[in-house]
Chain A
């Protein structure tokens, strides 16, 4: 492959576009925050400048780190995360103001956001290559289980609103399940990459559909039973549903086998029926969903449909364009700042506002799936697909519940809802997606510029090293349409490959980035690869 071809196909980093979008996101968030104050108190919030400065500082910080450490990362992810997070802060502040007793949970959320952004920056700096995570497949699996089990430990776990999914240390409470979500995705990705061939090729054929051998999906079933079982004991349906969906989706991506969907669906159906029979609160949820608008369900305590119906009334009150920030009554809905923040937005920003929010999530999902398609390694593909699907599924479960599409379950709306653990976890997901999208779009020559050297694990063969090299050479043809069957390159016999930074000095990286930044009149305006390329 000639250097000129690689130059012509070199993708643009789009960092300035990201900066522009971030500024838009900050302007929108700050305006929302100001409008909340004007709507509720007829006065600018006194802390508006501090708020704007803080938000701007966080956004610019992660922007700079992305520029520095993940130059080719998707430019849309950070602005969307900042926008959703900023809007969420404004709405949390709005619900704060609507309370009889003022509670400054918006500031608390801003602190959590700082922590989340800080963690995301750490991930971007420390994790030079997402494939490094593959080495920790089983560690992640065990850690995920550990985190899931934490709330069951007496003295540490806390039960809030019937769900024992919290741990408390002093005044702080945390949902370890949110972190477990990411760890499980890593575990599933690593495990499935290693065992997908067995899962695909072996096994009995029933009615024309090949089912896997028992021993092949044994470990996964155990993991599934463990996670779902723990969640049933912790009485959190939403998270259970989320893990299960994540699981089936990743299995399907890895194996392309419809049988997994069938098995998954039947597992889900069995689980749902069992849960309905065994747990009264599940039955209550379903009754409250089906007969939500009856006076009987509405007035039933505990359980009943009061919260759901109040949310619907709020959204109906908002109509197409909403009442305007600070002009509605979101506080009538219990948990208007967390579980039902979607309804709060629906009331004050209307259907138009909710469509924007849904589009933001859809964009994250779409960028994630696109990253998964462009990635050259199976582990990355699975991880990117899994993480973006969790966001989509989580949004579906929450928003579907609030809009009465499906029964209500307790999940947080990513980035918007009040709650530290979820916010931090979602920022980490964004960091991982940034890292992977950088990897997917980074031109091949920047992988071996002296900054990064590809090394082999001691036990790997030269054949796999060659394969690695070839794979890297192909890397500028980023369009999935033109890739060789990607499964060839990500088959289970591929040895774990790691990329290590050889120079300890991070300055070297900056220098490198600044000198190698693509420029010149022959630069293609988009990152679309040349059709046909070298094939």
Chain B
């Protein structure tokens, strides 16, 4: 039996050798591919149960993880004392166990979860100090006062408001209404989370759209006249004092259609307003004829310089605004008034405003101010202001600045006057559908001599004013409150 015993021993050893092999195969050789397998919900769960870093606004967390006693270990929570989660949902987005992530939770996900390579040295550090590894904190550029002013101003109206620091491109406010609460979507109860997610997406008001940067694009209406004026000044053929043709009604070529002014009369100076006067009283007929004189190419080129048609990440994705092409003269005339197929985001109009305010240098809008170590709050990376483009010369910017101040002192935007502060602005009341109330627009910056804030506000369908709405009356006060939140400081 000795020999056969040895054989059985060998068989046993071979079986164990196979087990050592298969164990190594699973845990070493194929471990990476198993970890990357799309069926592997363990990785998702691992992600979900990280101690994610908070999203901070002026040092206060608006999204943060609270330890809880379940399989996900941390409950994501939104909003904090005085900071309404609904007012910030357009920035934070949600972080859900069933629906993934959106907003900054997605765009800055690598930082928040701690996966980003930029955190490498920080992680090595925490390994040696024995700190519990944690995702990084992401500090937003948002000024809570401006954001609150935008949120309060929009109130129950549908619309969006964006405020930029013209000199740095920092986003001081970005509100979109109606707001929504990310908290129920972050619930660890899958049914509850799923129901909240479906409710958000099936809501006819489409709260999930971030109206400030995408979702709905709006005809910019008369705010677009600033861009046409910029094109005129840049062409070298016009000055703010150039006389334009501004009758009560302008016959459009090749068609029976006409364009008339909103106040149903000829423009200033007996229908021969200057460029500055045309902007101040938002004269339709003079800008329509100016647009046709400049031609499609000049306006399209100017629009492109301001960022129309270009991809932008703040790092949320901004939907490119559009200026139509292959226009016939009537279409060009209407496009010059920000109608027809011109579509823009409030972010785009805020960028244009900020570019003019900043002497023609348009800074790249940024929502992330700094990435911090969540425990020590030491900065890991800091966003540096970057110039995106120079859409207009310094001189043109200067002239537009003065003209837009005229809109406030002696024009349609008098509502935005702030005592002791020079304000530059432009109103817009955009028709977008037959019989529907117009969108109310307002763009502005202040103080005009040393701009600290540039604002764009849109209120859909006239807001609470309905058909009686004008940009000045509906969107203007919101913009004024937002500017005051900065200049009064």
CB-CB nearest in chain B for A317: B42
Comparing B10-18, B166-174, B369-377, B383-391, the segment that makes contact with chain A is B10-18
The reply to whether B1 and A315 form a contact with Cβ atoms under 8 Å apart is no
CB-CB nearest in chain B for A391: B12
Known: A331-B71, A403-B25. A313 touches B12 (CB 8 A): no
A288 within 8 A of B: no
Known: A312-B34, A316-B27. A256 touches B22 (CB 8 A): no
B35 within 8 A of A: yes
The reply to whether B27 and A313 form a contact with Cβ atoms under 8 Å apart is no
CB-CB nearest in chain A for B23: A354
Comparing A74-82, A142-150, A361-369, A466-474, the segment that makes contact with chain B is A361-369
Closest chain-B Cβ to A194's Cβ sits at a distance in Å of 14
Interface string of A323-360 (1 = CB under 8 A from B): 00000010110000000000000100011001100100
The reply to whether B8 and A405 form a contact with Cβ atoms under 8 Å apart is no
The reply to whether A252 and B8 form a contact with Cβ atoms under 8 Å apart is yes
Interface string of A378-401 (1 = CB under 8 A from B): 100110010011001101100110
Known: A385-B5, A480-B2. A293 touches B26 (CB 8 A): no
A419 within 8 A of B: no
Residues of chain A lying within 8 A (CB to CB) of residue B38: 295
The reply to whether A351 and B24 form a contact with Cβ atoms under 8 Å apart is yes
CB-CB nearest in chain B for A331: B71
The answer for the CA separation of A487 and B2 in the assembled complex, in Å, is 8
B20 within 8 A of A: yes
A298 within 8 A of B: yes
The interface size of chain B toward A, counting residues with CB under 8 Å, comes to: 41
Q: In the complex, which of the residues B28, B40, B41 contacts A319, with contact meaning CB atoms closer than 8 Å?
A: B28
CB-CB nearest in chain A for B21: A405
A177 within 8 A of B: no
B465 within 8 A of A: no
The answer for the CA separation of A313 and B40 in the assembled complex, in Å, is 7
Closest chain-B Cβ to A256's Cβ sits at a distance in Å of 4
CB-CB nearest in chain A for B19: A399
Residues of chain B lying within 8 A (CB to CB) of residue A331: 71
The reply to whether B2 and A358 form a contact with Cβ atoms under 8 Å apart is no
The answer for the CA separation of A361 and B18 in the assembled complex, in Å, is 14
Q: In the complex, which of the residues A346, A365, A405 contacts B27, with contact meaning CB atoms closer than 8 Å?
A: A346
The reply to whether A351 and B42 form a contact with Cβ atoms under 8 Å apart is no
The reply to whether A320 and B18 form a contact with Cβ atoms under 8 Å apart is no
The reply to whether B19 and A405 form a contact with Cβ atoms under 8 Å apart is yes
The reply to whether A320 and B28 form a contact with Cβ atoms under 8 Å apart is yes
The reply to whether A249 and B45 form a contact with Cβ atoms under 8 Å apart is no
The reply to whether B42 and A361 form a contact with Cβ atoms under 8 Å apart is no
A253 within 8 A of B: yes
The answer for the CA separation of A204 and B276 in the assembled complex, in Å, is 118
B7 within 8 A of A: yes
Interface string of A113-133 (1 = CB under 8 A from B): 000000000000000000000
A254 within 8 A of B: yes
The reply to whether A253 and B5 form a contact with Cβ atoms under 8 Å apart is yes
CB-CB nearest in chain B for A392: B12
A45 within 8 A of B: no
Within 8 A of B (CB), among A286-325: 293, 295, 298, 309-310, 312-320
The reply to whether B27 and A320 form a contact with Cβ atoms under 8 Å apart is yes
The reply to whether B4 and A346 form a contact with Cβ atoms under 8 Å apart is no
B3 within 8 A of A: yes
B202 within 8 A of A: no
The reply to whether B35 and A487 form a contact with Cβ atoms under 8 Å apart is no
A490 within 8 A of B: yes
Residues of chain B lying within 8 A (CB to CB) of residue A399: 19, 22-23
The answer for the CA separation of A315 and B104 in the assembled complex, in Å, is 33
The answer for the CA separation of A365 and B15 in the assembled complex, in Å, is 11
Closest chain-B Cβ to A485's Cβ sits at a distance in Å of 8
CB-CB nearest in chain A for B15: A396
CB-CB nearest in chain A for B14: A396
The answer for the CA separation of A372 and B19 in the assembled complex, in Å, is 24
CB-CB nearest in chain B for A292: B39
Q: In the complex, which of the residues A295, A314, A365, A490 contacts B12, with contact meaning CB atoms closer than 8 Å?
A: A365
Q: In the complex, which of the residues A298, A314, A346, A487 contacts B23, with contact meaning CB atoms closer than 8 Å?
A: A346
The reply to whether A253 and B45 form a contact with Cβ atoms under 8 Å apart is no
The answer for the CA separation of A252 and B25 in the assembled complex, in Å, is 32
Q: In the complex, which of the residues B12, B15, B39 contacts A369, with contact meaning CB atoms closer than 8 Å?
A: B12
Closest chain-B Cβ to A432's Cβ sits at a distance in Å of 17
The answer for the CA separation of A388 and B118 in the assembled complex, in Å, is 55
Closest chain-A Cβ to B409's Cβ sits at a distance in Å of 65
Q: In the complex, which of the residues B1, B9, B13, B34 contacts A316, with contact meaning CB atoms closer than 8 Å?
A: B34
The answer for the CA separation of A250 and B339 in the assembled complex, in Å, is 92
The answer for the CA separation of A485 and B30 in the assembled complex, in Å, is 48
The answer for the CA separation of A403 and B7 in the assembled complex, in Å, is 25
Task: Provide a sorted-by-A list of 7 A–B residue pairs whose CB atoms are within 8 angstroms.
Answer: A298-B39, A315-B31, A373-B2, A373-B5, A392-B12, A396-B18, A490-B1
Given pairs A252-B8, A385-B5, A385-B8, 17 additional interface contacts (CB within 8 A): A100-B70, A252-B4, A252-B7, A253-B8, A313-B42, A318-B27, A319-B31, A320-B28, A331-B71, A351-B28, A358-B20, A362-B13, A366-B12, A373-B2, A388-B12, A403-B26, A486-B2
A-B CB proximity, top 3 nearest: A316-B34, A403-B22, A256-B4
